[in-house]
Structure 1
Amino acid sequence: MKEVTDGRRPTRRARPVRRWAAYATCAWTLAGYGTLKLYWALGGTALTSSAPLPRSGREELVAQTPGTMAGHWISVGLVLLGALAALATVRSWGQVLPRRLLTVPMWITGALMVLRACGALGFGFVGDAMVLTGVLHVDPPDAEIARHLSRVDLLLWSPYFLVWGLLWGATAWATPRRPAR
Structure 2
Amino acid sequence: MKFAQALGAEALADKDPLPPEMRERLLSRDPLFVASHWVLAAAAVVGIIVALAAVRPWGAAVPRRLVLTIAWVLGLFMIARAIGVLGFGFVGDTLLLAGVRPPPAEHAALARDLARWDLLLWSPFFLLWGTCWMLTGWTLPQR
In which range does the TM-score fall when normalised by the shorter chain? over 0.9
Q: Which runs of 5+ in 2 are unaligned?
A: none
CA offsets per residue over residues 67-100 of structure 1, 9 Å max, x none? Answer: 1111111111111111011111121211011111
Matched, 1:99 2:99: no
Aligned with 1:71 (options 36, 49, 59): 36
The TM-score with structure 1 as length reference comes to: 0.75
Q: Which has the higher helix share?
A: 2
The answer to whether structure 1 residue 59 and structure 2 residue 15 are counterparts is no
Other-structure match for 2:10:
45
Say which of 154, 162, 167 aligns to 2:119: 154
- State whether structure 2 residue 95 is matched by structure 1 residue 130: yes
Q: Structure with the greater relative contact order (CA < 8 A, sep ≥ 6): 1 or 2? A: 1
* CA offset digits 1:4-51 (Å, max 9, x no partner): xxxxxxxxxxxxxxxxxxxxxxxxxxxxxxxx1111011011211111
Looking at CA atoms only, which structure, 1 or 2, has the larger radius of gyration? Answer: 1
Q: TM-score, normalised by structure 2?
A: 0.94
- The alignment of Structure 1 onto Structure 2 pairs a total of residues equal to 143
Letter in 2 for 1:123: F
The residue aligned with 1:12 is: none
Q: Structure 1: which 4+ aligned runs deviate by more than 3 Å?
A: none
Q: Which position in structure 2 is the counterpart of 1:20?
A: none
Q: Find the partner of 2:50 among 74, 85, 109.
A: 85
Where do 5+ consecutive residues of structure 1 fail to align?
1-35
Identity among equivalent positions (%) equals: 46
Please provide the CA RMSD for this pair: 1.3
